[in-house]
Structure 1
Amino acid sequence: MVAEENYFSGSEHGEYALVLDGNKEIFGAGSLAEVGAHGRVLGMTRVALFTDARLAKLPAVETAVKSLRDKGIKVTVFDGVEIEPSDRSLKAALRFAESDTFDGFVSVGGGSVMDTCKAVSLYASYPPADFLDYVNKPLGKALPAPGPLKPHIACPTTFGTSSECTNVAIFNFLELGTKAGISNRAIKPTLGIIDPNALKTLPSQVVASNGMDVFSHAVESYTARPFTSRPVAEDPTARPVIQGSNPFSDMNCLEAIRLIGQNLVRAVQDPDDIAAREKLSFSGLLGGIGFRTAGCNLPHGMSYAVAGLVRDYHAKGWPDDHPLVPHGFAVIVNSPSVFRYMGSTCPERYTEAARALGMSRLAADQDAGDYLAGGVIELMKEVGAPNGLTALGYTAADLDALTEKGWPQRRVIDNAAKAITKDELRRMFEGALSYW
């Protein structure tokens, strides 16, 4: 790992303190059946359970509902969450939450479901004057929650987004053609229950996309600007959710990368390799803990434009009723280009990430960013990830539009190890058109 003195001997004018939000997650095969017991301890008596239409018919939701009802908790299910949720589906979920006197929330699903539930909990508890008030700047005002939220137990059925342990929710803002984010400490679920058994039925391409998301989360957090490079907070009680790379996140991110390198190809190529999928589930938890504190940077900022401007791409393993770029693929198509462009900002970290992935030692005359990019491209090939933006239906004619939609994502763009210009962002999109 990179020496910790890089943080603690920084500029005397930089941030000197790191906020470590507590973890409260349960991990283990079979743990989903415990949701009722934990709900009762949290005081839940009338629960709104969020999921999507496909998951509502699968065993995970049945297990959660039975567990809650066995403990005397009344459950009402909302299964209208959209995959890659939009402001439209978020508002529909909010209307449901406001239709009854719920005293707790449970989400069973992937990042779309958990993010929807997190946002709904905030909006239903403290309705804003304007819908964008809680949304990150510059799209919204990024207002903090006025107080505590009702308890929320998040139960992931995927492993890519790690939404069960983060204080971020993402949705597609249809009118603007881009994704919007809410970063708010209050929306972190009260408890995450991560049951690896939920991954047994995931299609191979969903596993691939999830793994690419975890991997890029981890590398982006590990190579983000150090938290000590930020100005000292004017209000020490209101430090930002995203703080930059730090020694706590570093440990989690490197282990997440290592687990992806050892298990992703196995899990994609052999759906019956349950041991590999269990380790991937744990990698998602570690990656989430890492980026919750450090934050992602450029590949994720670019991904919101890639997903928001999709025209006709349909991914195998996802519903085919509308065009959709799965989040992990929307991210990873940008990652090699970003690594090549940004490798010189912290070459020792790009080299360390490559080693964690399982690559051999960097040659003396190699560029660290290009070195890691090469390993990622090989991994993309092995798991069937799209070959850059062109595989998603984009061409060079779309570069300006992608740049315009990506540039406002300041929450993550500004978390890169160095400040970039709009033209540099366009060059990174250009470098992501294709890789092989």
Structure 2
Amino acid sequence: MSASFRTAVHDGDDLAARTEVAMAATFAGLGFGNAGVHIPHANAYPIAGQVRDFRPTGYDADHAMVPHGMAVSLTAPAAFRFTFDASPERHVRAAELLAPGATRPDDPADFLPQVLAGIMRDVGIPSGIAEVGFGAGDVDALVDGAMKQQRLLATAPRTVTEDDIASILNDSLENW
């Protein structure tokens, strides 16, 4: 995925890149099916469900929407900063796989969030939940929605409280 994702997004006619991304998506689906998903996915439900006016570029939709992958990505950098202490080596390895040769920041907890934000920026994902229409005043409602996703939050490598979700959402208002 690291070598093909940006290419596939920017040049949909590149069959080799699309094939590699499809294979990566297949492997991700197998992994998700076995290991589960957690905080970013739990946050994605209320983000998509409570959207008011956002209409993503490239979608022929007559209603407001935040596509699932976009909704998941918006809080992923802050969520992985939060989970870093549970398994630093896994977070660093994920960053290395997503961005081979990337320069590590001084704080290793920032490595995966920086890599994810870079990918998001490069493929045109909004800069945070503020860009899809949410503000600090919406955080409580988003927390309420995310906390209802206990089947997802239960698989997080750290116990997740309402305050933790609020902090992640506040940190996700703008990722860059």
| TM-score bucket of the superposed structures, by smaller chain | over 0.9
Aligned runs of 1:168-187 on 2, under 5 Å? none
Conserved? CA contact 2:6–2:123, under 8 Å: yes
SS at the partner of 2:28?
helix
Quick check: which has more Rg, 1 or 2?
1
In structure 2, give the amino acid aligned to 1:339: F
Aligned runs of 1:143-162 on 2, under 5 Å? none
1:118-172 deviations in Å (ceiling 9; x for gaps): xxxxxxxxxxxxxxxxxxxxxxxxxxxxxxxxxxxxxxxxxxxxxxxxxxxxxxx
| 1:404 equivalent in alignment to 2:165 | no
Conserved? CA contact 2:92–2:108, under 8 Å: no
In structure 2, give the amino acid aligned to 1:305: P
Q: Which residue of 2 aligns with 1:423?
A: 163
Quote the RMSD (CA, aligned, Å): 1.4
Q: Which residue of 2 aligns with 1:414?
A: 154
| 1:383 equivalent in alignment to 2:141 | no
Corresponding pairs, count: 176
Conserved? CA contact 1:351–1:362, under 8 Å: no
1:234-287 deviations in Å (ceiling 9; x for gaps): xxxxxxxxxxxxxxxxxxxxxxxxx2x111111112222110001111111111
User: What is the CA–CA distance in structure 2 between the aligned matches of 1:416 and 1:292, rounded to whole Å?
Assistant: 15
User: What is the CA-CA distance between 1:364 and the residue it aligns to?
Assistant: 8.5
User: What is the CA–CA distance in structure 2 between the aligned matches of 1:262 and 1:364, rounded to whole Å?
Assistant: 21
Task: Choose between structure 1 and 2 for higher RCO, CA contacts under 8 A separated by at least 6 residues.
Answer: 2
What percent identity do the matched residue pairs reach?
A: 35
User: What is the CA–CA distance in structure 2 between the aligned matches of 1:365 and 1:284, rounded to whole Å?
Assistant: 31
Q: Which residue of 2 aligns with 1:307?
A: 48
User: What is the CA–CA distance in structure 2 between the aligned matches of 1:262 and 1:412, rounded to whole Å?
Assistant: 29
Q: Which residue of 2 aligns with 1:432?
A: 172
SS at the partner of 2:27?
helix
Conserved? CA contact 1:387–1:434, under 8 Å: yes
The alpha-carbon distance between structure 1 residues 433 and 279, as it changes in their structure 2 partners (threshold 3 A), is same
Conserved? CA contact 1:345–1:418, under 8 Å: yes
Q: Which residue of 2 aligns with 1:225?
A: none
The alpha-carbon distance between structure 1 residues 344 and 323, as it changes in their structure 2 partners (threshold 3 A), is same
In structure 1, give the amino acid aligned to 2:19: E
User: What is the CA–CA distance in structure 2 between the aligned matches of 1:364 and 1:279, rounded to whole Å?
Assistant: 28
Larger strand fraction of residues: 1
User: What is the CA-CA distance between 1:365 and the residue it aligns to?
Assistant: 4.2
Q: Which residue of 2 aligns with 1:176?
A: none
Q: If the length of structure 2 is used for normalisation, what is the TM-score?
A: 0.95
Larger helix fraction of residues: 2
Q: Which residue of 2 aligns with 1:354?
A: 95
Aligned runs of 1:104-253 on 2, under 5 Å? none
User: What is the CA-CA distance between 1:322 and the residue it aligns to?
Assistant: 0.8
SS at the partner of 1:434?
coil
Identify which of 264, 270, 274 aligns with 2:11. 270
User: What is the CA–CA distance in structure 1 between the aligned matches of 2:112 and 2:97, rounded to whole Å?
Assistant: 10
In structure 2, give the amino acid aligned to 1:295: G
Q: Which residue of 2 aligns with 1:289?
A: 30
